[in-house]
Chains A and B, each alone.
Chain A
Amino acid sequence: MPPRRPMGPPPKLPKGRMKEVFVRLIKIVSKGYVLNLVIVFACIILRAILSAYGVSLLKDLIDDGIRPMVGVANPDFHPLYLVVEKMAVTYILVVIMAWVQSRLMINVSQDALRNLRNAMMRKMQTLSLKFFDTNKNGDLMSRYTNDIDTIRQMISQGIPNLFSSIVTIIAVFYGMVRMSWQLTGFVIICLVVIVTVGKFLAGKSSIFYVAQQKSLGKVNGYIEEMLNGQKVIKVFNHEEEAVADFKTLNEDLCNNAKRASIFANIMMPVMAQMSNFLYFFVAVFGAAVIIKGYLPITLGTLIAFLQYTKNFTNPITQVSQEVTSVVMAMAGADRVFTLIDETPEVDEGKVTLVRVRVNADGTMEECEERTEHWAWKKPTEDGFELVELKGFVEFKNVVFGYNEEKIVLNDISLYAKPGQKIAFVGHTGAGKTTITNLINRFYDVNSGEIIYDGINVNDIKKSDLRRSLGIVLQDTHLFTGTIRENIRYGRLDATDEDVVNAAKLANADYFIRHLKDGYDTVITGDGGMLSQGQRQLLSIARAAVADPPVLILDEATSSIDTRTERIVQDGMDKLMDGRTVFVIAHRLSTVRNSKAILYLENGKIKERGTHEELLSMRGDYYKLYTGAYELE
């Protein structure tokens, strides 16, 4: 379900910005479709003129085609035929114009929407994690849903209707003035009254609408919270209180909704009857004028004029409606453009990762086929040099904070030799995960440097750097698709056999085979049908199939019970074998056999050494390790 839009009316844009957004949107819409748009607008203009002309034919029909012949013994039907012919041609043309106009707009609007959506996604994929940290998911989501939808309405209906209404008003006005400027003046005066009343009602209605949306937001929020916690309500016998609180909110909503709905409902009859009044006034006024002979107006003129009054009021009310919709769409378009204009994650890295063949003499040579070897391709002044990828990672005096004021890591220095397992332990918020986020450059250090196989990570192309690192995150989210596809996410060209082997390594094979469709079981809704532990196993399998030289395990086994973990451990050991591994774990059993264990506190390394060394130090690690026995 798409997230609900934040309640209340969308904020209006300042005038200057609105123009900017509008022009930009028009450019996008007209891209490749200039001819289409020209034809569309030509059709709109022609259609409005022809419609107005069609009404004036009514006068001819009555005054030329019918009245002169009434009562004549052998009437001449030719004038009548002539007018009807004119009418037929005009009316058919109007229909054709209407069809051409909307038919041509289909491709224009759908392609523009597709391009906007794609542009957003393309940009989104290049943005840094900082962007995602500071923007709410729901807010980003609504740009793909609500905002795109308001833009769709504006392109396919708002702008054409607005334009067509304006042209119609002009054409009808012209037709009316030509028939009788006196009657036209009378109509205009009446219209001013109608528009004023309409505006007053619309203003009132929007106040109540806002109030309604606000209490709707409250009620929906309450429903969401309570139903998500429904099991807790049951356990605590809290049903009656929940019902009572809900009742108050619901009554409140009902009252506000009632008011908003009443105003919306009376809008229609009020506007309809007001234009009826106008119609009568014109009819009576016109009839009186004809009878008294004040003005040289014929019956045909009056009837055509009455038709004009009807055609005049509709576009006027429509203009104000469409203007509101365009303003709303502009706010949406602005949000879409803001996303498209975000600055992408900077990547100045030039060093790339390539597959190499190791020749008999120990030299390396770049190659296409899968070998067991990788190398960093480092551009030098004359060409490039190849540096073997080994997985040597070094932190030198690294300082980092997610924002300037709050330093999370302070002067961190450490190194992991190829094939070593380095563990981070410490309390929540000590900065363990942050360290691993710096290795793959999810974030960049404030000062200090991280060296990877002798190369500063800032010099390595981000995508290649990340390709060399496998990562298993604490919160495992999966993608809609089969289990197989989810594991293959680690390496897109993995064969089915590779996938199964990886699953076996992670000990996921057993439970996968017991699912209804085995590896082809489709996961939906973030894998809600799988337990957190099972999802972690899949995520380990995903890392296994990627087969990276360096592995980062961030609480990879936290949701797997200890007994299962022991079984997985075996596979994990195989996975870690020969790789540089950074591991973060709550469970000390997971980190015990590490080459080095770093105890972090408040962003600093407080203790470091092997398990035995740290125990003998009797420091914080020791306390953490023996916590259970301290009290006894």
Chain B
Amino acid sequence: MIKKIASCIGEYKKNTILAPLLMIMEVLMDTMIPYIMASLINKGLSGNGDYNYVVKTGIIMLVMSVLGLAFGMTSGINAAIASTGLAKNLRTALFNKVQLFSFENIDRFSSSSLITRLTSDVTNVQNTFQMIIRMCVRAPLMMVFALIMSFKLNAKLALLFVVAVPVLAVVLYFIITNVHGFFKRMFKEIDNLNNDVQENLLNIRTVKAYVRESYEIDKFERISETIATIAKKAERILVLQMPVMMLVVNVINILLSLIGGKFAIYGDIQVGTLNTMFTYTMQILMSLMMVSFIMVMLVMSIASAERITEVLSEEPTLANKENPVTEVKNGEIRFEHVSFAYEKGEDKDVLRDIDLVINSGETVGIVGGTGSSKSTLVQLIPRLYDVTKGSLKVGGVDVRNYDMKALRDSVSMVLQKNEIFSGTIASNMRWGDKEATYDDIKKALDLSCASEFVDKYEDGYEYKIEQGGTNVSGGQKQRLCIARALLKKPKILILDDSTSAVDMKTDALIREGFKNFIPDTTKIIIAQRISSVMDADKIIVLDEGRVVGLGTHDELYKNNDIYREVYDSQVKGGDDDAA
């Protein structure tokens, strides 16, 4: 894990090494100064005093302090460059990696989890990394240097530290490990609470409709109380930390005063030495506190680092073969005994032994109930997933032999879950064709019946789309998505329930346009309503992952029970959607 993340340091290696090195120098200055201070007091102020010595040592200390400042600042600057640089590289690496992901990879992580990994997890790692290259060097070094210097001053007094430091370390360790468990539980409860609030906001109509306000309040207050209880328990331990540390330090100081005082009276040490020993006590205490703080941060960010590494180590499940075919000849599709399963294991197949031929330029409808795997079937065509068994050929070539980019350029698909992006209508359209002119866009929008509302916008094609496409209606969004797909000038066009929010008249107009203007493109249409596929050259009826009917409307109506049932429910008795 550390290796994976460290490899993202990249061009910031120099800064990553410089920051702790400079920090060493700063710490060295910080611990040397009290030592010199001791001699200033001891030598400069003993007897009648030595004014020149005082000024001389004063200047030395000042120079050291300025050096310390310079080292400290440059260390800080390098650390800043290294940590923000690492964050940048991590984000780039993650983002680029996700771009290589297949649908299977995306499904495995889920979008929201990927978003967390790219945002808050990266920030956590960035902060921790900065801490590691600064504080993780500073804290232990400070302690070691302070100990060395105090031994140099007076070894007998310094023995006090040797006893005290382990005691403190044990106490701190005890507190941190105890508190950690409580905090983990508390964060979980806080998640629950947030989740509860969010659900209440989303479900506010349901809550009100069923008059469950007091029920929801009770539920919320239970979680709220749990949080308060756990937090109290955790803090009760946590508040021991500072007093315990102070206690140890104060005991050291008292002992120093007593023993050091006696030494001074006997003339073994001088007052300046005693004073400096007090300073070292503080430095040692501070570095221990820093260590305990670092430990907490480290534990918290390890989880983040792990989540990031997971993404970075994920292997894309689909890859181009060597010397892939880069041209799709035509829009012919052949399923040869294709089976498919999302997960391994027996009886997990969601498509079973599909054998189909769709000729170039044909219009094919697919109908079937929820869970009959209609979407799965079409997603195999642009190789969004690989077949588990059998072979799928487009233009006479197995899809696995194509260059994926070339294949997907020729197979244009409008997904069931449509997304348009923030930007303008034109910028969204140019996803389909980077060089598309207004004329090209107009043609596509005309064909998808989107011109009728786009032309009404004052800004026309430069109309701004909000993030998530919230400022167009569902039906408008679907038509824009169809236009975008058309701009690819595909050999195969797949619409996965893409006109469900479009009214029937418009839906029919769009299909009419397809027939007249893109006759050579193979068109595959998945639809809930039969009227959307009735006039297709071929209709495929799917049920539980099997083809249970194939033929024209008239044939199926005669011979296929399922088809007839659906049709009757929708049309014969008189139906249909009226958006």
Chain A positions near chain B (C-beta within 8 angstroms): 1-2, 4, 58, 61-62, 65-67, 69-72, 75, 77, 80-81, 83-84, 87-88, 91-92, 94-96, 98-99, 102-103, 106-107, 110-111, 113-114, 117-118, 121-122, 124-126, 129, 132, 137, 140-141, 144-145, 219-221, 223-239, 241-243, 246-247, 250-251, 253-254, 257-258, 261-262, 264-266, 268-270, 272-273, 276-277, 280, 283-284, 287-288, 290-292, 299-300, 302-303, 306-307, 425, 427-428, 440, 442, 463, 466-467, 469-471, 473, 477-480, 489-490, 492, 526, 531, 533, 542, 546, 560-566, 586-589, 592, 611, 624-625, 627-628, 630-631
Minimum CB–CB distance from A213 to chain B (whole Å) comes to 11
By a CB distance below 8 angstroms, the chain A residues around B473 are 428
By a CB distance below 8 angstroms, the chain A residues around B51 are 288, 291-292
Beta-carbon contact of B68 and A276 below 8 Å: yes
Please tell me if B182 contacts chain A, counting CB pairs below 8 Å: no
Beta-carbon contact of A125 and B576 below 8 Å: no
Beta-carbon contact of A631 and B512 below 8 Å: yes
Add 10 more A-B contacts to A145-B190, A262-B80, A303-B275 (CB < 8 A): A65-B257, A84-B254, A92-B247, A238-B431, A269-B76, A283-B58, A287-B45, A287-B49, A592-B575, A624-B578
Q: Binary interface profile of B, 14-46, with partner A (CB < 8 Å = 1, else 0)?
A: 000000000000100010010001001100110
Cβ-closest chain B residue relative to A427: B579
Complexed CA–CA distance, A270 and B208 (Å): 58
Q: Sample 5 A-B pairs with CB under 8 A, ordered by A number.
A: A91-B250, A280-B61, A287-B41, A467-B211, A563-B369
Beta-carbon contact of B95 and A243 below 8 Å: yes
Please tell me if B467 contacts chain A, counting CB pairs below 8 Å: yes
Which residues of B (42-88) have their CB < 8 Å from a CB of A? Answer: 44-45, 48-51, 54-55, 58, 61-62, 65-66, 68-69, 71-73, 75-77, 79-81, 83-85, 87-88
By a CB distance below 8 angstroms, the chain B residues around A587 are 570, 575-578
By a CB distance below 8 angstroms, the chain B residues around A80 are 258, 261-262, 265
By a CB distance below 8 angstroms, the chain B residues around A492 are 215
Cβ-closest chain A residue relative to B234: A106
Please tell me if B299 contacts chain A, counting CB pairs below 8 Å: no
Which residues of B (356-390) have their CB < 8 Å from a CB of A? Answer: 369-371, 382, 384
Nearest first, the 10 closest Cβ-Cβ pairs linking A and B are: A269-B72, A265-B76, A291-B49, A284-B58, A261-B80, A91-B250, A229-B419, A99-B243, A254-B88, A273-B69
Beta-carbon contact of B40 and A303 below 8 Å: no
Complexed CA–CA distance, A490 and B574 (Å): 33
Cβ-closest chain A residue relative to B497: A561
By a CB distance below 8 angstroms, the chain A residues around B96 are 243
Cβ-closest chain A residue relative to B247: A95
> CB within 8 A of A235: which of B95, B190, B200, B415?
B415
Minimum CB–CB distance from B351 to chain A (whole Å) comes to 17
Cβ-closest chain B residue relative to A293: B49
By a CB distance below 8 angstroms, the chain A residues around B231 are 106, 110
Complexed CA–CA distance, A512 and B476 (Å): 35
Which residues of B (516-545) have their CB < 8 Å from a CB of A? Answer: 528-529, 531
By a CB distance below 8 angstroms, the chain A residues around B262 are 77, 80
Beta-carbon contact of A490 and B44 below 8 Å: no
By a CB distance below 8 angstroms, the chain A residues around B467 are 221, 225
Beta-carbon contact of A83 and B257 below 8 Å: yes
Beta-carbon contact of B579 and A246 below 8 Å: no
Beta-carbon contact of B76 and A262 below 8 Å: yes
> CB within 8 A of A276: which of B65, B205, B212, B239?
B65
Minimum CB–CB distance from B324 to chain A (whole Å) comes to 14
By a CB distance below 8 angstroms, the chain B residues around A124 are 200
By a CB distance below 8 angstroms, the chain A residues around B528 are 561-562
> CB within 8 A of B370: which of A219, A235, A561?
A561
Are A137 and B508 CB-contacts (below 8 A) given A125-B216, A266-B77? no
Interface centre among B83, B206, B220, B529 (most CB of A within 10 A): B206
Beta-carbon contact of A490 and B468 below 8 Å: no
Q: Binary interface profile of B, 232-275, with partner A (CB < 8 Å = 1, else 0)?
A: 10011001101100110011011001100110111100010011
Please tell me if B573 contacts chain A, counting CB pairs below 8 Å: yes
Cβ-closest chain B residue relative to A287: B54
Beta-carbon contact of A144 and B193 below 8 Å: yes
Beta-carbon contact of B417 and A231 below 8 Å: yes
By a CB distance below 8 angstroms, the chain A residues around B432 are 236
Complexed CA–CA distance, A236 and B429 (Å): 11
Beta-carbon contact of A102 and B242 below 8 Å: yes
